[in-house]
Structures are given as structure tokens and as C-alpha cells.
């Protein structure tokens, strides 16, 4: 199997640098390779709806310019941000483009060679529940380890899941593991800070605040616009 080229041009794609005395040392790319290998069982696929999102095309080009500019700056230095464990927290009204922007960030991370896991919170919790039915004794711990080690963990719709002690425990465990490992998190939510804290607990939100740059997106629900009749049709209907 062909090896991926070293993004730093230092090794032969193995993740090791062989010295003149034939001793091997870790290459700068080895940490990325290990993270990718551990995350292979995680969801790292951009959903079909978002595979062609771009800064130059709607809906991204129609979003508030200051927010888009900040996201452009983030992806321009994606390596630095992920290395530092710096993520993004996109919040605001329903249908304002949060998920589209987040998927664009994840695509840039994948294109840059980083390991990425992409989940809606309900799906992520479902996968955790599935580990309880797995015969492997440590499958739950192994899943949490993979979620903790991936370069970027993208969780969509945080706060949408009905809360229970079990849900709160799982979400805290994931966020705290990444917090301790200084790994970046990318989240979207419809809830403002205090409302989210009521939903998923203050201790989880406090960690996310420290880990993420917070970007608000407000406005009309773009998904509803297709159902609104043009003005001239409304006038004709009124006259009738």
C-alpha cells in the first residue's frame, strides 16, 4: 500500500526519520498519522449536502461578512489552530448557516491532512450506546480514546438532545478528555451561552468557552424562504 507523503517533507511517509546510524526517530508528521489511524472507525465524511460548500458560493457568501472573515482566518491557519487545540463555537438562530460554515472548516482540516470526526450530537450518543452491546470489554473506553485523540472533533446541534444524567455524563467525558489533551472542538448550537449551560451543565460549557472562539450567527431561517410567496403574488392574493 502506498504511503501518504510526509506533509513536512522530512520522512519517507513512514512517520520515522532514519539516521545515519540506522536509528529511527519520530518524524514531525507521526502524531498526525497516529491520530488518523486511531480515528478510522469514526465518522469523517462530509455529508453530501455540504460537500461543495465554499466561501465564494451561497449559502456561505450570503452570510454576515465579519463572521465569514473570521472563519476564513481560522482555516487559513488551520494547522496552527489545531496544534494549539483552538476550536470554534458557532451559535445562533435556526437556519442561519452554522452547519454549512462548520462543515467548510472540517473540509479544510481534512484537506490539510488532519484527522477529523464529524457527528450530530444525537448520532454520537447513539454510537456510544452501541458500545454497550459490543462484546469487546473495552470498546467504550476505546471509543472515548479515539474521540479524544482525533485532531478535530466536530459536533453539530449541541443542546438538541434531551438531557438526562447519562447524556450529560457522556458529553462531559468527551469534552473534558479533549480539554485535558488540548484537542480542538468545533460545535454548533441554537442556544446562547447561559441557555446551553442550563442544558448541558456549567462545567461542560466552561471548558468549551476556554477551548473555542465563539461566533454568533443570527438572522432569518434560510430554509423557510422557499415557502414565502413573492411580493407581487401576495398583492394579487390580497386584491382577490
Q: Which domains does the chain have, with CATH numbers?
A: 1-38 (no CATH), 41-219 (3.40.50.300)
For the chain, the C-alpha Rg in angstroms (whole number) is 21
pLDDT-derived band at 1, boundaries 50, 70, 90: very low
- What number is the average pLDDT over the span 89-108? 93
Are the C-beta atoms of residues 119 and 155 closer than 8 Å to each other?
Answer: yes
pLDDT above 90: residue 135: no
Q: How many CB atoms lie within 10 A of CB 171?
A: 24
Cα 127 to the center of its chain, rounded Å: 16
Tens-place pLDDT, residues 7-37: 778 888 777 787 776 677 888 877 666 655 5
- What number is the average pLDDT over the span 118-125? 90
- Could you give the C-alpha distances from 147 to 50, 111, 155, 188, in angstroms and in order? 22, 20, 11, 17
Residue 143: predicted pLDDT: 85
Tens-place pLDDT, residues 172-227: 999 999 999 999 999 999 999 999 999 999 999 999 999 999 999 987 666 565 55
Alpha-helix residue ranges (DSSP H) falling in the chain: 30-38, 65-76, 78-83, 98-111, 121-131, 139-149, 165-181, 193-200, 202-211, 231-239
Amino acid at each position: 500500500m502506498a504511503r501518504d507523503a510526509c506533509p513536512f517533507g522530512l520522512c519517507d511517509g513512514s512517520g520515522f526519520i532514519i539516521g545515519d546510524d540506522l536509528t529511527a526517530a519520530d518524524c514531525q508528521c507521526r502524531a498526525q498519522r497516529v491520530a488518523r489511524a486511531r480515528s478510522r472507525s469514526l465518522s469523517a465524511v462530509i455529508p453530501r449536502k455540504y460537500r461543495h460548500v465554499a466561501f465564494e458560493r451561497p449559502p456561505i457568501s450570503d452570510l454576515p461578512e465579519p463572521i465569514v472573515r473570521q472563519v476564513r482566518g481560522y482555516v487559513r491557519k488551520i494547522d496552527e489552530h489545531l496544534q494549539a487545540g483552538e476550536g470554534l463555537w458557532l451559535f445562533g438562530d435556526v437556519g442561519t448557516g452554522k452547519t454549512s460554515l462548520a462543515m467548510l472548516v472540517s473540509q479544510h482540516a481534512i484537506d490539510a491532512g488532519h484527522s477529523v470526526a464529524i457527528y450530530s450530537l444525537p448520532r454520537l450518543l447513539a454510537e456510544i450506546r452501541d458500545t454497550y452491546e459490543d462484546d469487546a470489554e473495552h470498546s467504550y473506553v476505546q471509543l472515548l480514546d479515539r474521540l479524544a485523540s482525533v485532531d478535530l472533533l466536530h459536533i453539530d446541534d449541541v443542546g438538541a438532545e434531551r438531557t438526562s444524567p447519562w447524556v450529560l455524563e457522556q458529553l462531559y467525558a468527551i469534552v473534558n478528555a479533549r480539554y485535558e489533551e488540548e484537542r480542538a472542538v468545533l460545535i454548533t448550537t441554537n442556544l446562547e451561552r447561559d441557555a446551553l449551560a442550563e442544558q448541558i451543565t456549567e462545567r461542560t460549557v466552561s471548558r468549551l468557552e476556554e477551548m473555542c472562539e465563539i461566533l454568533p450567527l443570527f438572522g432569518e431561517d434560510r430554509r423557510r424562504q422557499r415557502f414565502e410567496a413573492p411580493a407581487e403574488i401576495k398583492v394579487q392574493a390580497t386584491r382577490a
